[in-house]
Structure 1
């Protein structure tokens, strides 16, 4: 990486550019970008980097691709780049080939019965995530999530949170940070001052947290206070209205929240980064350039994914030149950015695939143990029937077929039931109420969890109840969110069920291998092999 020049050598426009982080795809070729409306093509990304933007956030691609991509990005840069990723559940959550952990709430489940083990596992998760991030050139981990998910209808935080109480979230979030601190990466507490108690997704609209200051100080803020005391490097703002502190501006644009509450009252001296400014919670509030200027005025050091990068830089530059923003405000942020970049420059180089643990037996054992200890079931001793004549149905229900990377032709959730005569059918939840099913034995496997861009946490229980009245339902498996289980037990008290927080192959195998007395050998006479 290039060295850091003296701050005073930067022009005003160069200094402002350092406060911008843009989005790119982890894939090597432009035509592979899954979201070209948000992910800059190579030519645009190169132009921005050569103009001096401060960083890039990456999504998608394999770990091997990203390792090559990050080298290219740093090669283009005249100053070291912050390269970030939303890797709340391990590097493998976003970049295939690396380690994917269960969602953080799985650790919260373990914490209920064994806090010490949960804390140790959270620290291990932080360390492995940081090590693997460095191996592929990512130096900014946009984790942990420190929202207290005390609203079961939350469609966007949900199992991304460590739990439903401040104690859970504080203990496990700080353990993750301590683990990551074994490596020279930046950590991020998000989404300040707390996105847990809302049923609105700020990717789509602007939620309101209507609690009074006493409640905010006792539930929402403690995890962030604990993270700051632990030495977290950055805090990400939430796109939320919090009338108790500011009746006019959302948190991302509020001096009362970012400067008064976070900087002054909590004493945070690190980086304040906005959540993505392309999210509906911001784009519906004001025009992009107004948002960019107001976020800086509120106290943000870094603007994440402004919709108009060049326009944002020009708008901030104009605001300084016209006296709307003091020039000192810009250089104060750059000083904090330089402090963060000095930290990443101390990182011990890891040459890919050094540091990638996804295939290591010890890492796989840790992931499996986390899943097993957090799993739930009813009538687990019951074994379901096999049908050698392939007479049964394996109904797999997902939020979106196009966003189901955990489903592959030979993944356990398909392959294991198939050996027992269950033929897979994959449908989206929205089609479940309209489904007309032949009355044959059916196993239902639901992959449902809270995700960004989810307007409402979809509920499959009524549809499952209707299905159970029409066909011989053998059992129900949920992978993802636990918030359906209470309603499932009430609606179908006689039906056995199993639950895992994870959706990856290890989670699938753990449950599917437990459903039958024995597992037949794989069929090597398959008609398809490509």
Structure 2
């Protein structure tokens, strides 16, 4: 092949690669430098034809500036996407952060029509804010049916543990997202809801056969295909009863025979991130990109080494192992998806063109966030503070990377602290609070005397593993009640754990459940728990705005 032809082939293959970047403009502010390209790398890759960027971190203004910059570095239309399943504010400070989708799944069991209406508003909110920030592709909805209550990575990210509910809510969400003018992505095909390990950490193995998938896992994906969703993301898992030789992302039986042919999906098939340990622990950078493309993937998300990924696909085509028509088909699907975004009529797009720079500041879905929290928070009793005893605010977070959830100014810390509680935070890398006693697992001697307000931030999150979900919190509640040291219980996160806790909780103990973990959820919970008035809320805000150094 002549050098000019080879160069053009590499540029075409590069269009299939999606790389990771921080929304922060300075390289030194990158939160995940091992995955996020430097500015020099970004500019180089985009000038060489890279097809898109997935963004994370920073503020909404950072994101808007970054998207504009990335577009200026490319001579073609590129994908600009983010994992904002629960709102732009989940990843970028200043955006709206909504309750996890499972909250609407719980509502769907009681009031299906109301839940479906809210799911569509949920999609509109995310789509409109994403568009204002410069994104054109949202990697949502999660279409997994969360049939395993201890699922460490899907859990509350799913819309329900019932396939019919997931189908209805995902479809409504996507209609809202699409009406806002944004591309969506159904994930994680053919279903990640029954796993007991996190694919960010290792490769899950499932016994599920095609008959079970057809009855359950595939229902939401069929619904989204009928809604003409533009892309579907693969799951990094091993279905040994369907393909005994390859994980899903590298399986032609799953991606081509099942998804492309049997389900007649005509949109883009995109891999989940190839830097996840389910892949990197078992496959090299070159091999993983080549195998995914050969299996039927159109877009390669976050390959471990960008140049290796491009080289491996070029080699497949030059050697004749994969016909060049496969590349042409993927490029055509890519251009159709981007054209769909550009051409899609949207009143939101029309209004955006009339807005001034940084108009995202004026896009506020705070009322929707409030409404969803008010519908989903459950509680019984209020906390009467006994100041004759030492007060301990014991908090468990399931991730050290949860700074948007819990930091020095978070209401879960500041409210109790202002009332005389001593804050103690447990996390996976800290000193263990446990002792070798199943019925009394908490080592109380490590905390000293006092009564506990127990606040648990546990829901299952990527990279967190299953430690928090599998910890003996039910027995901790029994233990603290037995010695009269449980003042109150708050759970932010898993509805499954909440159901287990309330079965052993004494009716007189103040307790609150919120599916949402964000600061707004914490503020609402603290106001309920401590019976705070509007005037007290204002005083609290003044106290916590003081400069401390």
- Normalising by the residue count of structure 1, what TM-score does the alignment of the two structures yield? 0.92
Q: Secondary structure at the match of 2:206?
A: coil
Deviations 1:79-102 (A, max 9, x none): 111011001001111111011111
Q: Secondary structure at the match of 1:479?
A: strand
Asked whether the 8 Å contact 1:132–1:356 carries over to 2, the reply is no
Closer/same/farther in 2, CA of residues 356 and 218 from structure 1, 3 Å limit:
farther
Q: Distance in 2 between matches of 1:156 and 1:408?
A: 22
1:37 counterpart = 2:38: no
Asked whether the 8 Å contact 2:155–2:459 carries over to 1, the reply is yes
Partner of 1:5: none
Q: Secondary structure at the match of 1:35?
A: coil
Q: What are the ranges of 5 or more consecutive residues in structure 1 without an aligned counterpart? A: 1-7
Q: Distance in 1 between matches of 2:124 and 2:314?
A: 39
* Structure 1 residue 518: Cα displacement: 4.3
1:442 counterpart = 2:460: no
Partner of 1:126: 123
Partner of 1:514: 528
1:454 counterpart = 2:464: yes
1:205 counterpart = 2:202: yes
Q: Secondary structure at the match of 2:433?
A: helix
Q: What are the ranges of 5 or more consecutive residues in structure 2 without an aligned counterpart? A: 435-442
Partner of 1:252: 249
Show the 5 A alignment for 1:484-499.
484-494=497-507, 495-499=509-513
Q: Distance in 2 between matches of 1:527 and 1:373?
A: 29
Q: Distance in 1 between matches of 2:239 and 2:406?
A: 40
Q: Secondary structure at the match of 1:306?
A: coil
* Structure 1 residue 280: Cα displacement: 1.2
Partner of 1:70: 67
- Normalising by the residue count of structure 2, what TM-score does the alignment of the two structures yield? 0.89
Closer/same/farther in 2, CA of residues 230 and 24 from structure 1, 3 Å limit:
same
Q: Distance in 1 between matches of 2:244 and 2:147?
A: 23
Q: Distance in 1 between matches of 2:531 and 2:43?
A: 57
Asked whether the 8 Å contact 2:167–2:220 carries over to 1, the reply is yes
Partner of 1:185: 182
Partner of 1:354: 359
Asked whether the 8 Å contact 2:398–2:460 carries over to 1, the reply is no
* Structure 1 residue 18: Cα displacement: 0.3
Q: Secondary structure at the match of 1:100?
A: coil
* Structure 1 residue 343: Cα displacement: 2.2
Closer/same/farther in 2, CA of residues 269 and 444 from structure 1, 3 Å limit:
same
Q: Secondary structure at the match of 1:335?
A: helix
Q: Distance in 1 between matches of 2:497 and 2:362?
A: 33
* Structure 1 residue 242: Cα displacement: 1.3
Closer/same/farther in 2, CA of residues 9 and 67 from structure 1, 3 Å limit:
farther
Q: Distance in 2 between matches of 1:309 and 1:485?
A: 43
Asked whether the 8 Å contact 1:25–1:59 carries over to 2, the reply is yes
* Structure 1 residue 402: Cα displacement: 4.4
Q: Which stretch has the larger CA shift, 481-490 or 274-283?
A: 481-490
Q: Distance in 2 between matches of 1:214 and 1:505?
A: 43
Closer/same/farther in 2, CA of residues 352 and 464 from structure 1, 3 Å limit:
farther
Deviations 1:181-239 (A, max 9, x none): 11332100000000000101111111122122211101000000000101111000001
Show the 5 A alignment for 1:458-497.
458=468, 459-461=471-473, 462-470=475-483, 472-494=485-507, 495-497=509-511
Q: Which stretch has the larger CA shift, 502-511 or 256-265?
A: 502-511
Q: Secondary structure at the match of 1:53?
A: coil
Partner of 1:298: 295
Show the 5 A alignment for 1:186-335.
186-335=183-332
Q: Distance in 1 between matches of 2:78 and 2:41?
A: 16
> How many pairs are equivalent?
517
Asked whether the 8 Å contact 1:144–1:188 carries over to 2, the reply is yes
Asked whether the 8 Å contact 2:399–2:464 carries over to 1, the reply is no
